[in-house]
Amino acid sequence: MLKIRLKRLGAKKAPTYRVIVINSTTKREGKPIEELGYYNPKTKEMKLNKESALAWISKGAQPTDTVKYLITNCNEDGTLNYKKSEVVKLSKKAQAKKAEEEARKETLQMLEVYRSTAQDLLAIPMVTGRKTESEKFAGAEETYTMEALMHDGKALQSGTSHYFGQGFAKAFDVKFLNKDNKQEYVYQTSWGASTRLLGAIIMVHGDDNGLVLPPRVAPIQVMIVPVMQHKEGVLDKAYEIEKQLKAAGLRVKVDASDKTPGYKFADAEMRGIPLRLEIGPKDIEKGQCVLAKRLDGTKETYTLNEELPNTIHQLLDQIHDEMYAKALKFRDENIRTAKTYDEFKEILNTKAGYIRMMWCEDDACEAKIKEETGATSRCIKEDEEPFGDVCPICGKPAKKVVYFAKAY
């Protein structure tokens, strides 16, 4: 591969550079294929054959960031259009800091990806925050988590995002080639959400009658149940509606089994299918159907026309919003605050959910809570204002708000 880079000349503290085209496999001081000009970073004096440089780039030559800057800001006569406020090149320390900042940003960005996915697709509200030192991933500098609250008041860690820094990179000698063609250790992140989310769907939304699946991930969004399907035209109408809804992007199935309608209703309910569409001879005669919501069991009659797919899309969005609102209400009603250790234990023994408490960041206090109550720290809520300044366990100064709960 061809590179367009700078070749250093001049004294130690007064360098000047040639802009050269060179094969990437050639030694640093090797003979270039072509010299395109020169550049003095101190005086900003430059003479560059911009036309030739662009020709080499069109042939696949790769310019360094500094050369890109010089080409971009090259006047017609080959001199540099220099603006004092611009920086040609980041220092080595600044480059490292930028790489670290990018890795930390990615760690939080991925946590937000998981949180928004849980909200927008699964209708599950999450509590997010940073794990304590004893709960974070071994070897990570920081671990961030999202926690879901189940029906029984226990928390479920549903996804994590880790910032490793350069610890593992140095241990396993993992490096990359930076913008200056020099090797440096990577700043590593790691993140994931697993099949725990399937458990969260079941335990957040399910009820005594079975599953309640979020419409946006339900394999079947609408189950069509033909009533008195042995009557002429009933099954044909059911399949006609199925075809219409599938053409509109809906996931639909006709239950044409020989079971009774009551059995089919119960089966669809147990499987958590968001909407059940009932169609029988009288419905066909009136040009209507009945739609039943799995979430609350309500039924309404709708006209069979070209607007039916849009109506069902809107209903499914409404069901999603209702499921999220219901889960959010349950979560928020089950976040309580404890200002003393006795209050903490009282809440834990009589109620479910999260308990907010100030914490001194001493592992011994965290371990005592776990040993005596079975509750564990779920996350440090750095986005919440402290509501006290003393740790209820030891009496030492405390600055962090931590959520505790019993968990799976």
Task: Report the C-alpha gap between 390 and 388 in whole angstroms.
Answer: 6
In a domain, residue 132? The reply is yes
Element (DSSP H or E) covering residue 380: strand 376-380
In a domain, residue 353? The reply is yes
What's the pLDDT score for residue 9?
A: 87
In a domain, residue 82? The reply is no
Element (DSSP H or E) covering residue 70: helix 65-72
**291-314, pLDDT tens digit by residue?**
999 999 999 999 999 999 999 999
Rounded to whole angstroms, the maximal C-alpha distance in the chain is 98
Task: Report the C-alpha gap between 95 and 243 in whole angstroms.
Answer: 57
Task: Report the C-alpha gap between 108 and 358 in whole angstroms.
Answer: 23
**96-147, pLDDT tens digit by residue?**
778 899 999 999 999 999 999 999 999 999 999 999 999 999 999 999 999 9
CATH of the domain at 27: 3.30.1320.10
Residues 291 and 324 occupy one common structural domain: yes
Beta strands 127-130 and 62-63: pairing type?
Answer: unpaired
Residue in 47, 55, 45 with CA at minimum distance from that of residue 76 = 47
pLDDT confidence bin for 91, thresholds 50/70/90? low
pLDDT of 88 above 60:
no
Q: What is the DSSP letter of 279?
A: E
Tokens matching residue 339? 């200002």
In a domain, residue 380? The reply is yes
The whole domain housing 30 covers 2-72
Residues 314 and 351 occupy one common structural domain: no
Query: Looking at this protein, which amino acid is placed at residue 57?
Result: I
Task: Report the C-alpha gap between 251 and 71 in whole angstroms.
Answer: 54
Residues 326 and 344 occupy one common structural domain: no
Residues 6 and 22 occupy one common structural domain: yes
Of 205, 236, 261, the domain-final residue: 205
Of 300, 330, 360, the domain-final residue: 330
Residues 289 and 250 occupy one common structural domain: yes
CATH of the domain at 384: 3.30.110.30
Residues 119 and 163 occupy one common structural domain: yes
Polymer length of the chain: 408
- Could you list the beta-strand ranges (E) of 180-323: 183-185, 188-192, 222-226, 252-254, 275-279, 288-293, 299-303
Residue in 325, 274, 267 with CA at minimum distance from that of residue 124 = 325
Tokens matching residue 120? 């927008």
pLDDT of 82 above 80:
no
pLDDT confidence bin for 85, thresholds 50/70/90? very low
User: What percent of the chain lies above the pLDDT cut of 90?
Assistant: 80
Number of domains in the chain: 4
Tokens matching residue 156? 């479920």
Tokens matching residue 162? 């880790």
- Mean pLDDT across 13-20: 88
pLDDT of 401 above 90:
yes
Residues 47 and 113 occupy one common structural domain: no
The angle at the Cα of 47, spanning 44 to 51, to the nearest 5 degrees, equals 130
**340-349, pLDDT tens digit by residue?**
999 999 999 9
Q: How many CA atoms lie within 13 A of 272 on its CB side?
A: 20
CATH of the domain at 289: 3.40.50.800
In a domain, residue 217? The reply is no
SS3 content of the chain, % helix, strand, coil (to 5): 35, 30, 35
Residues 227 and 201 occupy one common structural domain: no
Helices (H), 218-286: 234-247, 261-270, 281-286
pLDDT confidence bin for 89, thresholds 50/70/90? low
In a domain, residue 77? The reply is no
In a domain, residue 216? The reply is no
Residue in 83, 261, 96, 109 with CA at minimum distance from that of residue 175 = 96
What's the pLDDT score for residue 316?
A: 97
What's the pLDDT score for residue 256?
A: 95
pLDDT of 375 above 80:
yes
Residues 118 and 154 occupy one common structural domain: yes
In a domain, residue 228? The reply is yes
Residues 184 and 101 occupy one common structural domain: yes
What is the per-residue DSSP string for 107-166? HHHHHHHHHHHHHHTT----EEEEPPTTTSPTT-SEEEEEEEE-TTS-EEEEEEEEEEET
- Mean pLDDT across 49-55: 91
Residues 193 and 238 occupy one common structural domain: no
pLDDT of 150 above 70:
yes
Residues 164 and 249 occupy one common structural domain: no
Task: Report the C-alpha gap between 172 and 165 in whole angstroms.
Answer: 13
**204-227, pLDDT tens digit by residue?**
999 999 999 999 999 999 999 999
What's the pLDDT score for residue 69?
A: 87
